[in-house]
Amino acid sequence: MGRLFGTDGVRGVANVELTAELALGLSCAAARVLSTPGAEARRPVAVVGRDPRASGEFLEAAVVAGLASAGVDVLRLGVLPTPAVAHLTGALGADFGVMLSASHNPMPDNGIKFFARGGLKLADELEDRIEAVYRDLAEGKPWDRPTGAGVGRVTDHASGLDTYVSHLMGVLPDRLDGLKLVVDGAHGAASRVAPEAFARAGAEVISIGADPDGLNINDGHGSTHLGPLRAAVLEYGADLGIAVDGDADRCLAVDAAGEVVDGDQILAVLALALRERGRLRHDTVVATVMSNLGFKLALEAEGLTLRQTAVGDRYVMEEMKAGGFALGGEQSGHVIVLDHATTGDGTLTGLLLAARVAATGRTLADLAGVMRRLPQVLVNVSGVDKSRAATSPELAAAVVDAEQELGETGRVLLRPSGTEPLVRVMVEAADAEQAAAVAERLADVVRSELSLELPATAS
Query: What residue numbers does the annotated binding site cover?
Result: 103, 245, 247, 249
Residues 245, 248, 250, 256: what is their CA dihedral angle, to the nearest 10 degrees?
70
Q: DSSP states of 287-333 as a string? A: EETTS-HHHHHHHHHTT-EEEEESSSHHHHHHHHHHHT-SEEE-TTS
**Whole-angstrom distance, CA of residue 96 vs CA of residue 89:** 6
* Contact (CB, 8 A) for 379 and 412: no
Q: Which of the following is catalytic: 27, 35, 101, 103? A: 103
Would you call 35 a catalytic residue per the annotation?
no
| Type of residue numbered 311 | V
Residues making up the binding site for Mg(2+):
103, 245, 247, 249
CA-closest candidate to residue 28, choices 106, 115, 113, 138: 138
Residue 36 phi, psi dihedral angles, 5° rounding: -125, 70
CA distance 285 to 321: 12
CA 208 from centroid of its chain's CA atoms:
21
Cα gap 3→127, rounded to integer Å:
10
Q: How far apart are alpha carbons 10 and 429 in whole angstroms?
A: 37
Kind plus residue range of the DSSP H or E element containing 13 = strand 10-13
Q: Which amino acid is at 54?
A: A
How far apart, in whole angstroms, are the C-alpha atoms of residue 135 and residue 123? 19
Containing 100, the helix (H) or strand (E) segment is strand 96-100
Residue 185 contacts residue 207 (beta carbons within 8 Å): yes
* One-letter identity of residue 272: L
Please state whether beta strands 284-288 and 260-261 pair in parallel, antiparallel, or not at all (unpaired).
unpaired
Hey, which residues are catalytic here? 103
